[in-house]
Amino acid sequence: MSAADHHHAETAEHEDLPVAARVRRLEERVIAAGLTTDENLDAFIGEFLRRASPVNGARLVARAWTDPGFRERLLADGNAAVAELGLSPGDPAREGYRLQVVANTEGVHNVIVCTLCSCYPLSLLGPSPSWYKSHAYRARTVREPRAVLAEFGLTLPAEVEIAVWDSSSEARYMVLPRRPSGTGDLTGDELVALVTREGLIGTAAV
C-alpha cells in the first residue's frame, strides 16, 4: 500500500474527525465563556446517554474475574462475549466495530487511546471523558505513556511494560484490569462497583 493509500485508509476509518473536532472547539468556546465546565458537560452527556454506561464494561470484568471460561472467551472474541452476557444497549457488532479486550498482567499494563479522533466503545464505557478527546492525551499517550499515567496518579514500576492500543472506527478496545487481592468474598455486584471507567481505559488501576 502506498503512503497515499495508507493516508486515505486512515481517513476513511476516522470519517467523524471533522465533526468531532468542531464539537470539541465548540465545547472549548462555551467553557472559555464561563457558561459551563468539562465536568458539567460530562455529567450532562452521562445522563443523556445513561444506558451507555461503564457499568456495562464493569459487568464484563466482574464476570471475567469469577469465570475463567468467560475470561478466555472475552479475550478471544469481545463481541461474542458481550452478546453472551446480554448487555444493554447491545452488541458492539451492531455499532459496526470489533471489540478487543486486553488484559492487564503483573508485567504488562494496557492503556487505550485514539490518536486521530476519539473512537471509543461508548456502549460499554459510557460517554468518553473530555480528556480522552483532548489533543494532549491523544498525542502524548503514544509517545510517553508512563508520564501520562503518572499525571493521572498511576505510577507503575519500571519493570512493568505499558502497551498502548490505538482505537479506530473498526476496532475498539477495553482494558481488563487485574482483580485486586482480598476480594475473594465479594459478590458480583460488589466486584462491579470496584471497576471505574478509568480502569477500563487504563488510566487507573482497580
Catalytic residue IDs? 114, 117-119
The whole-angstrom separation of Cα 70 and Cα 85 is: 10
Tell me the sheet residues that pair with 99: 172
For 21, the 3-state DSSP assignment is helix
| 127-193-113 Cα angle (round to 5) | 35
Tell me the sheet residues that pair with 166: 113
Instruction: Kindly provide the residue ranges of all beta strands, DSSP E only, lying in the chain, ordered along the sequence.
Output: 98-103, 108-113, 161-166, 171-176
The whole-angstrom separation of Cα 155 and Cα 203 is: 10
Before 121, cis peptide (omega within 30)? no
- Contact yes or no for 83/45 (Cβ under 8 A): no
Q: Closest Cα partner for 137 from 167, 92, 93, 106? A: 167
